[in-house]
Amino acid sequence: MRNETFRKGLVCGIIVLLVGISLMPIAGSLSIERVSTASQIQNSNLGDDITPPVTTIYFDPPYPDGDNGWYVSDVTITLEATDDMSGLDVIKYLLDDSDWLTYTGPFTVESDGCHRITYYAIDKAGNVEQPSEVIRFGIDQTPPTIELTWDEENKRLVADVFDETSGVNRVEFYVDDEFVGEVTEAPYEWEYSGTVREIGVVVYDNAGNRAIRIHRSFRLFLEQFPRVMPVVDFTNAMATLDKSVFADIKIEDTSDCDCELGCELEIELTFGRYGITMIIKNIGDSDCTNVKWSITFDGGIILLGRETSGTILCIPPGENVTVSSGLIFGFGRTIITVSVESAGGSPVTKEQEAFIFLFFIII
């Protein structure tokens, strides 16, 4: 009886052992097959990735912190790209006149002037993102400069002001701490007759920076100099003059200053079926800043689009910006007037006769 039980147990053990041995290669092959399949899927994803990455740009400060679209602080730029399949390989960017650079992390733009940036990314499958449109931004952290002279014959205070980057916005005149007037375009002069103890001038540029100059004991000050005050260095003047005559005044020697911005604009017009396109070129050798443009229809019955205008922050030398009138709707003969003007530059104007028929412009 015992022998029979032992034989049955031995047979069962052998059967279990044989079944286990036979299943081991199958389990191993299933594991290998899973790994192989996962690898094939990953490789297949790389091959199937035909979508380029998408890059987003961030500015810090996020919006211009000065006036008229200008920054008055350093600007930090961050580029972030996403790719849902093969993954990001590299981001490239072009800043101002540089070659294409590899993005390695946030960077800061500190210099005054007009800046421009464009960028794109490449994923690990080799897909290349279309370069972004050129993004322009301006930085002006420097206040205007002032040269003060007195026109004795015409009893006129003359403020010769200059701002290299964003341009002069306005000049405010004060007499004995009282505001007496404002001038928004050259010449920056103010007539005043009578005895005064203090005359002040505040100059603002288009970015919102300001400079202040004050003359105290103004009549006494005039007695120290000839009829038309020469430009003097205040530090040297103080060495020979009584300091009580002056307070909070700084007159700078700008005889060697080239106070022309060197901005020269040129415009080209294209007349389409549904509107006008204007290409504004900077053919000068300096930035054209705060470029104001307008397209106006005078005459006829214009129900839509009689006037379109805008402001361009800056146009660097040799570059151009394209603007358009938008949709026009009307009827009859009209005169189209286009004009552009930059801070510190001369205005440019063109006129063209045309006939408007509904949405069509016929030259």
Residue at which a domain ends, from 94, 120, 139: 139
Domain-located, residue 253: no
Whole-number pLDDT of residue 30: 39
Q: Kindly report the CATH number assigned to the domain that includes residue 318.
A: 2.60.40.10
Whole-number pLDDT of residue 79: 97
Whole-number pLDDT of residue 156: 81
- Find out whether the peptide bond into 61 is cis, omega within 30 degrees of 0: yes
Domain-located, residue 290: yes
Verify that 27 and 106 share a domain, yes or no. no
pLDDT tens sequence across 246-272: 344 443 444 444 444 478 888 888 877
Please tell me the total count of domains within the chain.
Answer: 4
Residue at which a domain ends, from 12, 28, 48: 48
Verify that 195 and 230 share a domain, yes or no. yes
pLDDT tens sequence across 26-48: 444 434 344 344 444 444 455 68
Q: Read off the pTM.
A: 0.66
Domain-located, residue 101: yes
Residue at which a domain ends, from 99, 124, 139: 139
Whole-number pLDDT of residue 228: 38
Verify that 70 and 112 share a domain, yes or no. yes
User: d(Cα 182, Cα 357) in Å, to the nearest integer?
Assistant: 45
Whole-number pLDDT of residue 233: 43
Verify that 171 and 226 share a domain, yes or no. yes
Domain-located, residue 209: yes
| Per-residue confidence in pLDDT tens, the chain, 363 aa | 555 555 655 555 666 555 555 555 544 443 434 434 444 444 445 568 889 999 999 999 999 999 999 999 999 999 999 998 889 999 999 999 899 999 999 999 999 999 999 999 999 999 999 999 999 999 999 999 988 777 777 888 888 899 989 989 999 988 888 888 899 988 899 888 777 677 788 999 999 999 988 876 554 344 333 333 334 343 443 344 444 443 444 434 444 444 444 788 888 888 776 778 889 998 888 888 888 899 888 888 888 878 888 888 888 888 888 888 878 888 888 888 888 988 767 788 988 888 888 877 877
Domain-located, residue 110: yes
Verify that 115 and 186 share a domain, yes or no. no
What is the extent of the structural domain holding 273? Answer: 265-362
Verify that 270 and 298 share a domain, yes or no. yes
